[in-house]
Structure 1
Amino acid sequence: MTHSPFTPGVAAARLEPEAYAENFADLHPALDDHEALVAADRCYFCHDAPCITACPTDIDIPLFIRQIATGTPDAAAKTILSQNIMGGMCARVCPTETLCEEACVREVAEGKPVLIGQLQRYATDHLQEQGLHPFSRAAVTGKTVAVVGAGPAGLSCAHRLAMLGHAVTVYDARPKPGGLNEYGIATYKTPDGFAQSEVDWLLKIGGITLEHGKALGRDMSLDQLQADHDAVFLGMGLGGVNALAVEGSDKSGVLDAVDFIADLRQASDVASLPVGRDVVVIGGGMTAVDAAVQAKLLGALNVTLAYRRGRDRMNASRFEQDLAASKGVRIMTHVVPRAVHGNGSVREIEFEYVNDDMTGTGETVRLAADQVLRAIGQTLTGDGMPTLEQGKIAVTGAGRTSLEGVWAGGDCALGGDDLTVTAVAEGRDAAMDIHKTLMGAAG
């Protein structure tokens, strides 16, 4: 067993080699042709389908399922991708159980929805595996647009703008494109390098230039981008992590959950990532669950997810909560951290139980911990931003900011629900508004 030189008790290679392949296998294996036809046959093809309304990108779900049922999955993929160019990733990571599938008539009547997410993956994978790109560029307009951030919002915006004939330059601070899809989602949801293969496929539209290692405020200013381009779209996500403001939070072994997930996603061998024996994750969102589950899959003996409110208030869906529980993650609710204890390295973390109104009860509990992962929200970083509200960029309409010629979408913009699918929709809608503005069709 390989021990971390920094935090005693934190080690890599806790499991037998074959266990890692099993633990980090595809969460939802792809449907084969027969399974897809059987699943598609369950759809009622509703005329006024509630699943469409529940989809943030307004995909015509009954149409694409009918196209699968009639043996034309590539046509189904085009139906999906015309609304959501990252439909392949969204099929893997969308909380469909609280969106389209929750609204499905079959779910309401029988408690068993049509497998919309898995059917969407079947169609988009079928097309992308052939290397086909169903869209082509319009005539070149001569207009240039800067997109800051190569995450779901930025790439969605860039693709739509390129398709409409504009020249797009995407600036991203990291060495690889993809944003949250590449660095921030559990490995078992996107195995086999899917995030990068989807980006490679998306770029086949042409007209998009990627520039890596370029962070707004560090390597370029918004003023300069406005001067050099006809329009700017900000989709850089949230770069900072909220601090754990308690005594001892600076001890070795206290980490950001987003960094833990990113390190795992970028590791050539998941067994090489050190993990504690007793891991505590603070937070109640998807990032917290992803970190907690993966800590368990890496071989942590005890993993506790601690959240300040009840399970009904967690941002992570019930499916994600149940997934965590099924992997052996303990979920503690109505607790807030009060102190991190240890001599240099974390040894225990102390929590206080709180009421629904967040007032303390005076009752405390200490948990053994050699690794603490904070997933308590992220903040916007960078200088010279448009008007901010609640720590995010204020937007109106289809992503218009307080600055003329500057749009924003995704996690860095106010509104939405911090989902990949929502970011894709906001990038797409901003692109359409940018296009209308540049071509003189907007008021």
Structure 2
Amino acid sequence: MADRQHEDGIIAGRLSPDAYAQNFADLHPPLDEHEARVEADRCYFCYDAPCMHACPTSIDIPLFIRQIATGNPLGSAKTIFDQNILGGMCARVCPTETLCEEACVREHAEGKPVQIGRLQRYATDAAMGEGKQFYSRAAPTGRRIAVVGAGPAGLACAHRLAMHGHDVTVYEARPKAGGLNEYGIAAYKTPENFAQAEVDYVTAIGGIAVEHDKALGRDLSLSGLAAEFDAVFLAMGLGGVNALQAEGEEAEGVENAVDYIATLRQAQDMAQLSIGRRVVVIGGGMTAIDAAVQARLLGAEEVTICYRRGREHMNASEWEQDLAASKGVIIRHWLQPKRVIAEGGKVRAIEVEYTALSDGRLTGTGETLTLKADQVFKAIGQTFEPAALNGSGEGLALDRGRIKVDAEGRTSLPKVWAGGDCIAGGDDLTVSAVAQGRDAAESIHRALEE
């Protein structure tokens, strides 16, 4: 590495420019036409399509694969976009190994499913590459809907409402639209600014205005939006990050993994990002995996994930865990943070405690382990911040700290729907957020026609 003479610490520029380019190249290069048609021919085109039932957006997977097999990628893309207008991003980031591909008959028969995700990318890339738009707006209805949050749920809702002829204003708190897709996904999964290309593709239907740097609770109020618009869809995601609840976590070098990933995603030059030599990530979900893998790709020499339960309990899929291991990330289970050890206000180590299950409850055993670290990332879950809803008149009903909705996405307030990570009972997946946004849009449309 270029800085071998430097003492341990959090610094930038650990690798050569070529190394950064190679490390953050596309994780899964796209299939070419021949590869796609060969892979499509592996599909059995099952009449009961277990893969389709496993897809939160209910894409007709056998149909879109058959269309690829017969040389019709644009027709395939339309089949996908009919159900999931963000099918291009979902093809890249969906945990297909635990959804459609896990349900694939070939997975059960051979242990090698049809590569549904890569085929979906092949088709959607073909359509987006040609700028092919399959949908046009219906005659203007004169109805106006406010969408709070330009993430997957918000964009899917806005697109479907625009199709029905409604005018949509999307309010986004950050400088760019895309939400999690722009700020929260590992850079090697969505290179070449794909998230913004998809935003442009979705909004090209017309009738969708996006206003940036507008946050609910700061620049907007829910009561104000409900008074001004015919309907409101809340899709602002999760803004809070859980604390480690460990002594000394305020030390320099302890960072929120989601914030670091967002900074990395917006970086123009990876060499300008500081990373430690010894990095410890606390958590067991996708954010923990993404933070750990990218720390290694940025030049960290030793990266350890500590998770309080066993491998089988991790929210990150086995495929993601194996990816981390292949990049040199060490995953240690049954450990929880106890104390951050600092010198001069900076992290030097973290003390963790071994855990065990006792009568079904997780408890600390009292036995501890100290891991050297000059950087610690917190990836132990995000929380909804209901403070943004304050001052909005009648309170919005919450369930376990998130917005309570019915099967159509309706909240406890008239004219207000919600979807995505901010609602109760969600699984924090891009594809599920898309389905919720799409279905809420249909519910809004039906309500406005009454």
Contact 2:101 2:115 in 1 (8 A): yes
Aligned residue for 1:341, secondary structure, equals: strand
Distance 1:415 1:125 in 2: 32
Contact 2:8 2:277 in 1 (8 A): no
Selected match of 1:422 from 411, 426, 432: 432
Contact 1:2 1:12 in 2 (8 A): no
State the match for 2:346 in structure 1.
Answer: 345
Distance 1:138 1:418 in 2: 32
Shift of 1:8: 6.8
State the match for 1:369 in structure 2.
Answer: 373
- Long gaps (5+) in structure 2: none
Distance 2:3 2:274 in 1: 8
Deviates more, 1:91-100 or 1:376-385: 376-385
Is the aligned partner of 1:231 residue 2:234? no
Distance 2:422 2:408 in 1: 14
Distance 1:84 1:375 in 2: 28
Selected match of 1:379 from 359, 368, 383: 383
Shift of 1:415: 1.3
Distance 1:2 1:182 in 2: 31
The amino acid across from 1:420 in the alignment is T
Selected match of 1:394 from 404, 411, 433: 404
Shift of 1:146: 0.4
Q: Could you report, residue by residue, the CA deviation over 1:370-419 in whole angstroms, capped at 9, with x for unpaired residues?
A: 00000111111223361111111011111111111101100000112100
Distance 1:150 1:282 in 2: 29
- Long gaps (5+) in structure 1: none
The amino acid across from 2:17 in the alignment is P
Distance 1:218 1:240 in 2: 16
Distance 1:189 1:415 in 2: 26
Shift of 1:342: 1.0
Taking only aligned residues, the RMSD between alpha carbons, in angstroms, comes to: 1.2
Aligned residue for 2:446, secondary structure, equals: helix
The equivalences for 1:275-290 within 5 A come to 275-290=275-290
The amino acid across from 2:113 in the alignment is P
The amino acid across from 2:409 in the alignment is G
State the match for 1:135 in structure 2.
Answer: 135
Contact 2:241 2:256 in 1 (8 A): yes
State the match for 1:125 in structure 2.
Answer: 125
Is the aligned partner of 1:41 residue 2:41? yes
Shift of 1:2: 8.3
The equivalences for 1:20-419 within 5 A come to 20-343=20-343, 344-356=345-357, 357-381=361-385, 382-384=388-390, 386-419=396-429
The amino acid across from 1:236 in the alignment is M
Q: Could you report, residue by residue, the CA deviation over 1:206-229 in whole angstroms, capped at 9, with x for unpaired residues?
A: 000000000000111000000010
What is the count of residue pairs matched by the alignment? 437
| Structure 1 stretches of at least 4 aligned residues deviating more than 2 Å after TM superposition | none
Distance 1:383 1:38 in 2: 51
Distance 1:247 1:64 in 2: 53
Distance 2:36 2:340 in 1: 50
Is the aligned partner of 1:436 residue 2:442? no
The amino acid across from 1:353 in the alignment is Y
Deviates more, 1:384-393 or 1:213-222: 384-393
Aligned residue for 1:82, secondary structure, equals: helix
% identical equivalent positions: 68
The amino acid across from 2:375 in the alignment is Q
Aligned residue for 1:404, secondary structure, equals: coil
Q: Could you report, residue by residue, the CA deviation over 1:408-433 in whole angstroms, capped at 9, with x for unpaired residues?
A: 10000011210000000000000000
Shift of 1:355: 0.5
Distance 2:291 2:318 in 1: 16
Distance 1:239 1:301 in 2: 31
Contact 2:303 2:330 in 1 (8 A): yes
Shift of 1:245: 1.7
